[in-house]
């Protein structure tokens, strides 16, 4: 009952505000790591502008101790103790930049109140959760958004996928070994392989195979691959292939390679060339950071586009 009332109040407020022209999007943020801190700083700077796109109304993190080192630098009134407390402030959009577990726990509750922006799309590799969120979106009329992030050419692949023109999609991500957060057995595999090569700058293939399993083994590192599985939806998490590579020479960058093959085309009566595309993205990044610097601003642009869509999941 609480969720239904909150949903109705939120819609009434947005409808009322629209009579006075475009209003800032009321944002709540779940997660205060590297990306969450960047977003908070960006949104708070917007308050000084005569017109702004966003209005930050709450911040939540699984552990509140992270907030203590910011003191007066952070508006303490924005911090909420629970996600439910944040939802009572009636946001237009809740942005998750914490962990896939947060989507599993709170995703449906958020959709009872407002639109949801998923910053950890690896959560959708768990098929029952994806099904529940899609169902809830239809029931509440709220939309689900996912940032294209470091996945270059997402819109084009969506167009091809709509016409069943994507035959294969492989995403390779290369980072410094210290920039990975891995679950077992990949964590032990990386440690073992690093010990074997010593100081040599050699590539270590940590994983190669379907993206669905990799999302479980490296949920913090392969959101770009999850985006690929969503935009090429007829291939999905089982059909899209992922390759995770550790390279100690990558001290200042991440590399994302996207390779796609389409259908054969008959030319004359002999040649049947296959559509093929390969992009290589070099994203500046410090050692130990999961998200590259170029992805941070891209994320802000995606949030700005996260409005006005129908129900369902949309990559923006």
pLDDT digits (tens, 9 = 90+) for 91-116: 999 999 999 999 999 999 999 999 99
User: Model confidence at 10, in pLDDT bands (50, 70, 90)?
Assistant: low
231, two tokens: 């935009």
* Chain centroid, CA 156 distance in Å: 18
17 CB-contact burial (10 Å; exposed 0-12 / middle 13-18 / buried 19+): middle
Structure tokens at 197: 């090569």
Q: Are 212 and 238 in contact (CB under 8 A)?
A: yes
Residues of the chain with CATH 3.40.50.720: 2-150+296-315
Spatial distance between the Cα atoms of 69 and 89, rounded to a whole number of angstroms: 25
The secondary structure of residue 30, as a DSSP letter, is E
What mean pLDDT comes out for the span 53-65? 93
C-alpha–C-alpha distance, residues 7 and 12, integer Å: 9
The residues, any chain, with a CB within 8 Å of residue 126's CB and separated by 6 or more, are 100, 104, 216
Give per-residue pLDDT as tens, 157-175.
Answer: 999 999 999 999 999 999 9
Burial class (CB in 10 A: 0-12, 13-18, 19+), 55: middle
Q: Beta-carbon neighbour count of residue 129 at 10 Å?
A: 16
pLDDT-derived band at 16, boundaries 50, 70, 90: very low
- Look-up of token digits 């994806």: 130
Q: Is pLDDT at 191 greater than 80 in this prediction?
A: yes
The per-residue pLDDT for 292 is 66
Options 3.40.50.1820, 3.30.300.210, 3.30.360.10, 3.30.530.20; CATH for 154-290 is: 3.30.360.10
Q: Is the pLDDT of residue 182 over 90?
A: yes
State the span(s) of the chain assigned CATH 3.30.360.10.
154-290
The predicted model gives 61-69 an average pLDDT of: 89
Quick one: fold of 2-150+296-315? Rossmann fold (3.40.50)
Residue 85 DSSP SS3: helix
Q: What is the pTM of this model?
A: 0.87
pLDDT of 2 > 50? The answer is no
The pLDDT value recorded for residue 297 is 82
């Amino acid at each position: 009952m609480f969720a239904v009332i909150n949903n109705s109040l939120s819609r009434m407020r947005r409808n009322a505000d629209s009579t006075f022209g475009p209003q800032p999007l009321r944002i709540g943020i779940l997660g205060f790591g590297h990306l969450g801190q960047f977003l908070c700083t960006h949104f708070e700077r917007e308050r000084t502008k005569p017109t702004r796109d966003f209005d930050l109304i709450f911040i939540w993190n699984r552990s509140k101790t992270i907030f203590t080192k910011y003191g007066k630098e952070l508006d303490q009134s924005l911090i909420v103790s629970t996600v439910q407390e944040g939802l009572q402030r009636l946001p237009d959009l809740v942005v998750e930049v914490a962990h896939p577990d947060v989507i599993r726990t709170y995703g449906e509750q958020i959709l009872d109140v407002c639109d949801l922006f998923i910053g950890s799309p690896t959560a959708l590799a768990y098929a029952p959760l994806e099904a529940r969120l899609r169902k809830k979106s239809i029931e509440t009329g709220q939309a689900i958004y996912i940032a294209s992030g470091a996945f270059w050419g997402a819109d084009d692949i969506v167009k091809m996928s709509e016409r069943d023109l994507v035959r294969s999609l492989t995403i390779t991500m290369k980072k410094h070994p210290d920039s990975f957060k891995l679950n077992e057995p990949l964590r032990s595999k990386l440690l073992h392989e690093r010990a074997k090569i010593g100081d040599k700058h050699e590539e270590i293939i940590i994983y190669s195979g379907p993206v669905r399993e990799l999302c479980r083994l490296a949920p913090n590192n392969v959101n770009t691959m999850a985006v690929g599985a969503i935009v090429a939806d007829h291939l999905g998490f089982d059909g899209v292939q992922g390759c995770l590579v550790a390279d100690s020479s990558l001290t200042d960058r991440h590399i994302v390679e996207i390779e796609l093959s389409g259908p054969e085309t008959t030319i004359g009566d002999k040649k049947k060339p296959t559509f093929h595309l390969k992009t290589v993205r070099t994203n500046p990044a410090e050692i130990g950071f999961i998200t590259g610097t170029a992805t941070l601003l891209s994320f802000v642009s995606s949030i700005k586009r996260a409005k006005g869509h129908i129900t369902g999941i949309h990559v923006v």
